[in-house]
Amino acid sequence: MSSPRSLESNVLFLSGELTHVLHRALTSAFKKNRIAVTVEQFSILALLFYRDGINQQEIGANLNRNKTTITRVISIMERNKLIVRVTDKDDSRGNLIFLTPKGKAIQKRAIEHSGALYMKAISGIANTELAQGASLLTRIIQNLK
Amino acid sequence: MSSPRSLESNVLFLSGELTHVLHRALTSAFKKNRIAVTVEQFSILALLFYRDGINQQEIGANLNRNKTTITRVISIMERNKLIVRVTDKDDSRGNLIFLTPKGKAIQKRAIEHSGALYMKAISGIANTELAQGASLLTRIIQNLK
DNA sequence: CTACTTTAGTTGTATATGCAACTAATATAA
DNA sequence: TTATATTAGTTGCATATACAACTAAAGTAG
């Protein structure tokens, strides 16, 4: 419970590094395969795979992003015909977000590539170790909240 | 080495979560204590604490950021009188970046708060576990490179 | 029913990020 | 020495992020 010897042995620093490396690897994989979405847009596509038709608040809550951010990313995705906004009939303040056929097609391909990248990321690492790591990160996150 | 049961048990997802939570906690701590720097600017101040006078390329290499990003963050920090750009006498292509007295003062306070946050983050967690987590994250990063 | 509060979303403003293309300066090869 | 390649930094462009302030709609208290 003392300070780490160096940044390179600091779990918080390494977590930031991993986040960046993963972001770049995903961006690179999408570009290489001509999948025209950003990592952030992909996270919304992936969420909609399971929860098509949720509103922007729910997207923000699930992805842990400010609603301003969601407004703008969703606007770009709508402009690119990946999703559509439909005013909620039961509450006209809200927009329900639905995947378009184009959005579904892109999302399917993007999920395949992200899955492959995940397998590459954890290759050679035992499940027990991954579980321990998940437990550690979860506790650190809780400590910070 | 199979897919995780859920996002919440996925080390890659949790790492992204931790990065975000830490960023917000740092931002909040700086704001609360009227320390007028962003987390990204702080990372440069912290680097300059050990390596005052390095150039923008080296900053980018150390923080794993594109040189474009460094150009712009450094410009903002210069405008805010935290650092100064000095043309390298030995190679007039490069700028050497030096902390100003104001930059040093702010950096000192920011480091104190980030240290306190680090201690909060790892409270109740054994050093052996942190070392195992660091090892895990390092291997995942290597797998992705 | 009216007034106050809460909620969903948008817009203004500012910072961070990276790719592509560019300038200027240095290094290297012919 | 001159032509070419590399390197440091900047600018154009597009996206992501969030705080503050705002509109509009829905919920609630009197």
State residue B135's pLDDT score.
96
B12 and A1 in contact by Cβ < 8 A? Answer: no
Cβ atoms of residues A9 and B131 within 8 Å: yes
Using a CB-CB cut-off of 8 Å, the residues of chain A touching B2 are 127
Using a CB-CB cut-off of 8 Å, the residues of chain A touching B1 are 119, 122-127
C-alpha of A121 from chain center: 16
* B8: confidence class by pLDDT, cuts 50, 70, 90: low
Q: What is the pTM of this model?
A: 0.90
β-pair partners for A85: A97
How many CB pairs below 8 A link A and B?
146
Residues of chain A with pLDDT under 50: 1-2
pLDDT tens-digit readout, B120-134: 999 999 999 999 999
* B145: confidence class by pLDDT, cuts 50, 70, 90: confident
β-pair partners for B86: B96
Interface test with B, best of A129, A137, A141 (most B CBs within 10 A): A137
Query: What sections of chain B are H helices per DSSP?
Result: 11-32, 39-51, 56-63, 67-79, 101-121, 127-144
Any CB–CB contact under 8 A between A141 and chain B? Answer: yes
State residue A87's pLDDT score.
97
Using a CB-CB cut-off of 8 Å, the residues of chain B touching A116 are none
Q: Which amino acid type is present at position B78?
A: E
> Nearest-CA residue of chain B relative to A29?
B144
Distance, Å, B93 CA → C30 C1': 26
pLDDT tens-digit readout, B20-65: 999 999 999 999 999 999 999 999 999 999 999 999 999 999 999 9
pLDDT tens-digit readout, B76-111: 999 999 999 999 999 999 999 999 999 999 999 999
State residue A1's pLDDT score.
40
State residue B131's pLDDT score.
95
State residue B7's pLDDT score.
61
Long-range CB pairs of A94-99, under 8 A, 24+ apart, other chains included: A94/A55, A94/A56, A94/A57, A95/A55, A95/A56, A96/A53, A96/A54, A96/A55, A97/A44, A97/A48, A97/A52, A97/A53, A97/A54, A97/A55, A97/A56, A97/A59, A98/A48, A98/A52, A98/A53, A99/A45, A99/A48, A99/A49, A99/A52
Cβ atoms of residues A45 and A119 within 8 Å: no
* B1: confidence class by pLDDT, cuts 50, 70, 90: very low
